[in-house]
Structure 1
Amino acid sequence: MGVDLRQVVAGILTLTMFVMLGQMIKRDHFDSAQETFPGDRHVNLENAKIAKQSLVTLPEKSEGPWKGDDEELKACWSKPALDDVEQTNGFVIFSLTNGPEYHVSQIADAVVVARYLGATLVVPDIRGSNPGDQRSFEEIYDVKKFVKSLEGVVRVTKDPPAKLSTRNLAVVKVPNRVTEDYIVEHIEPIYRNKGTIRLATYFPSVNMKKTDKGSSSDSVACLAMFGTLELQPEIQDVVDSMVDRLRTLSRKSDGQFVAVDLRVELLEHKGCQGDDESGTKTCYSAEEIASFLKKLGFDKDTTIYLTESKWDSSLDSLKDVFPKTYTKDGIIPADKKKKILDSETSEFEKVVDFYVCSQSNVFVPAISGLFYSNVAGKRIASGKTQILVPAYIPDSSASAVDFITHYISKKNHLAYSCFC
């Protein structure tokens, strides 16, 4: 029986179409399985099998390096009663200095000391780095909130007695995170003799390690550090408007933005010129930050906020990679520039930076130190745990998860002693 050549050709074409269709179906399922696990280099076979069988509609693009906030933590310290301490007639006086990252720790130490001594705490003034640079507490912070938060814990007064001469006060140096043993040995004898003392907190090291002691002084320190300081309304409005502006500029990333603590004058400091004694790099330039963020997968439309006040040419290398990079000068409300940026003191600028960095979706400390550590504490409390520590990345890409600060990955920050 003869073979019809047309039937043979038709059969081959039909078979070819089925083979092509089968390949298309298999490729669609494979791509879907990959998209189900964005960022994973090695897909679990069992999960892949489930994904191939699923008909769930997948998102068009993954979140990339962005990560959602964790649940906000709750304060787990107990508020000790004032009648647990013998009350005395003296006063503890102190000043807030060097910026909000120091204020948080200075407040904690002063409250712990005043409570242990049974003394009355005087609301502090705020002093800048230049002689004579002094302002009242309420110019930056909500004084009513401060006093109310300490009710029943320690007595607080806005002003020392008029007859008290502040010039002849005994000045007592206090190490950050002062202990009861230190108070007993070095502070209490002077207080008993003088009646009133002025505290001067110093920082022998950046110590933000978690404590497991659970003593009453730890509860007092937690309350003082995380429950007493709120910005006064005008300054809070400035911070809120800047954060809103940054979110508006970040439409393509669903309002998410990155804050980078990068200050040119500190990068030029000799402490940033090389690695520290442990061999760990402690400062990163604009060019290094640009490379770091790019390799983590942040795209060119990412909005970046820098703690540098006004633009400096050394920042151009970062803006070349991420055009939407801004300093305070570029986003601060025009009617607030004179007060915040053109002031003779930098106190307002530091405060704005601290609170914007505390609210960003991602925080990157280009400079190690107390600013980084205390911003981390504030972020942990609010669930904003996306804190990425810079490092040199030799590959062309990397996962942001690998660069989460040890404060978060190991939960060894002091904040985890205070919140749960």
Structure 2
Amino acid sequence: MGVDLRQVVAGILTITMFVMLGDMLKRDYIDNPEERFPGEARDVGFDSGNVMEKFSMKTNGPWMEESEALTPCWKKKADFDEIEDYKGFVTFSLTNGPEYHVSQISDAVVIARYLQATLVLPDIRGDRPGDERKFEDIYDVGKFINGLDGVVKVVRELPDSVSIRDFEVVRVPNRVSEAYIAEKIEPVFRSKGNIRVASYFPSVNMRKTPQKDGSDTLACLAMFDTLELKPEVNEVVDDMVARLKTLSHNSGGRFIAVDLRVDMLEKKGCNGGASATKSCYNAHEIALFLRKVGFGSGTVIYLTQSRWDESLDVLKDIFPKTYTKVSHHCLSSSYNTNRVDNIKMAGHPTS
């Protein structure tokens, strides 16, 4: 059984919408909080303070305005010093779902560049043993290799003379720093000659951003200029976005993506720990937050939660147009399902 391509597609869709929503909040395009739903609504406390006190007084509603195009956060590839002598290999896998893939690629690229090692094209693995796909089943290999050309050498597979059994597995915290590589990873690489990188994420919300170092622009390049869906999968994503825009025609085709997974709410990282800082928010709290900042009942909301859970009912009560990855009226049309299944079969004819 292979990795569920529908979850990969939906995850990529979610990442795109996170950027949209994050940009909206960052630019403070928030309407007057007094213009909100009638009815009782309590304040919800967040790390940055009471949400009602943090929004600028605008008159155009809570949606983001047209803004300037984002500029690249990395320098030109020509500005990276060329590596003349590559020694050893770095391998890794993409795991945990597509929302983690860009971070895993970024870590592997930064490590390979620092060690002057050759990076091997990753595979994609699901949660269960045997859930495995090739990189090219979902992503554009040419874009990945060309995006790193002149920065890190990439090969599709290990040469026959190198055995994966000889690789030392190195667990690496996400957003790895040069200091960490020098202290923890480089000695292992110099000793073994080859390593397999396994990124882990220290908490549900990831860590606070560390101090900048020389790898920042490289990490940015790896995250935002290497990974693209293959054309067939990208067409499915475009169709999904079109369906969401159709559902949100009353708001000009704009909609909200919320990274809400009920199973994560029960994990230790969501409990705050000794700091008592709240890291995760349930459907009820999210509904109140969106209501507070001015979103109306007709707002279309897309959730990363795979299947409907009864705890989401409160969100749908306030925002009836709330959908998950497999919502019949939103993302799982028979047409798109058949297209995804056809792509899956093309990658794994025996599955």
Query: Could you say which TM-score interval applies, normalised by the shorter chain?
Result: 0.7 to 0.9
Note the alpha carbon deviations across 1:309-358, whole angstroms, 9 max, x for none. Answer: 232322222212211111222212323336869x99xxxxxxxxxxxxxx
Residue 308 (structure 2) pairs with residue 311 (structure 1): yes
Distance 1:211 1:68, change over 3 A: farther
CA drift of 1:152 comes to 0.7
Distance 1:219 1:275, change over 3 A: closer
CA drift of 1:227 comes to 1.1
Residue 283 (structure 2) pairs with residue 297 (structure 1): no
Distance 1:68 1:97, change over 3 A: same
Match of 1:277 in 2: 274
Residue 180 (structure 2) pairs with residue 187 (structure 1): no
Match of 2:202 in 1: 204
CA drift of 1:276 comes to 4.0
Residue 32 (structure 2) pairs with residue 39 (structure 1): yes
> Partner amino acid for 1:174?
V
Match of 2:148 in 1: 150
Which deviates the most, 331-340 or 84-93? Answer: 331-340
CA drift of 1:211 comes to 4.7
Which deviates the most, 308-317 or 319-328? Answer: 308-317
Distance 1:231 1:271, change over 3 A: same
> Partner amino acid for 2:336?
K
CA–CA separation in structure 1 for the residues paired with 2:33 and 2:199 = 47
CA drift of 1:158 comes to 0.5
Contact 1:137 1:143 in 2 (8 A): yes
- 2:107 alignment partner, one of 97, 106, 109: 109
> Partner amino acid for 1:199?
V
Note the alpha carbon deviations across 1:134-166, whole angstroms, 9 max, x for none. Answer: 111112211110000011111110011022211
Highest CA radius of gyration, 1 or 2? 1
Contact 2:236 2:339 in 1 (8 A): no
CA–CA separation in structure 1 for the residues paired with 2:303 and 2:209 = 27
CA–CA separation in structure 2 for the residues paired with 1:275 and 1:171 = 30
CA drift of 1:193 comes to 3.1
Ranked by relative contact order (alpha carbons within 8 Å, sequence separation 6 or more), the top structure is: 2
- 2:166 alignment partner, one of 165, 168, 183: 168
CA drift of 1:204 comes to 3.4
Distance 1:40 1:337, change over 3 A: closer
Show structure 2 runs of 5+ residues with no match: 1-30, 35-58, 345-351
Match of 2:91 in 1: 93
CA–CA separation in structure 2 for the residues paired with 1:207 and 1:69 = 31
- 1:329 alignment partner, one of 326, 331, 340: 326
CA drift of 1:249 comes to 1.1
Residue 277 (structure 2) pairs with residue 288 (structure 1): no
CA drift of 1:181 comes to 3.0
Contact 2:82 2:150 in 1 (8 A): no
Match of 1:64 in 2: 61
CA–CA separation in structure 1 for the residues paired with 2:116 and 2:107 = 14
SS across alignment from 1:126: strand
TM-score (norm 2): 0.72
What is the aligned residue count? 285
TM-score (norm 1): 0.61
Note the alpha carbon deviations across 1:232-259, whole angstroms, 9 max, x for none. Answer: 2222222221111111111211111111
Note the alpha carbon deviations across 1:360-414, whole angstroms, 9 max, x for none. Answer: xxxxxxxxxxxxxxxxxxxxxxxxxxxxxxxxxxxxxxxxxxxxxxxxxxxxxxx
CA–CA separation in structure 2 for the residues paired with 1:221 and 1:100 = 17
Match of 1:74 in 2: 71
CA–CA separation in structure 2 for the residues paired with 1:338 and 1:308 = 22
Contact 2:248 2:299 in 1 (8 A): yes
Contact 2:135 2:141 in 1 (8 A): yes
| Cα root mean square deviation, aligned | 2.9
> Partner amino acid for 1:240?
D
CA drift of 1:194 comes to 2.6
SS across alignment from 1:277: helix
Match of 1:128 in 2: 126
CA drift of 1:179 comes to 2.7
Contact 2:166 2:194 in 1 (8 A): no
Distance 1:218 1:268, change over 3 A: closer
CA–CA separation in structure 1 for the residues paired with 2:223 and 2:208 = 12
SS across alignment from 2:108: helix
CA–CA separation in structure 1 for the residues paired with 2:257 and 2:263 = 18
SS across alignment from 1:329: coil
CA–CA separation in structure 1 for the residues paired with 2:267 and 2:248 = 33
Contact 1:125 1:137 in 2 (8 A): yes
Match of 1:177 in 2: 175
Distance 1:197 1:246, change over 3 A: same
SS across alignment from 2:326: helix
CA drift of 1:308 comes to 1.7
Match of 1:355 in 2: none
CA–CA separation in structure 2 for the residues paired with 1:271 and 1:171 = 25
Distance 1:277 1:338, change over 3 A: farther
CA drift of 1:63 comes to 3.1
Contact 2:236 2:340 in 1 (8 A): no
Q: Which structure: greater helix fraction? A: 1
Residue 224 (structure 2) pairs with residue 226 (structure 1): yes
Sequence identity (%)? 57
> Partner amino acid for 1:108?
S
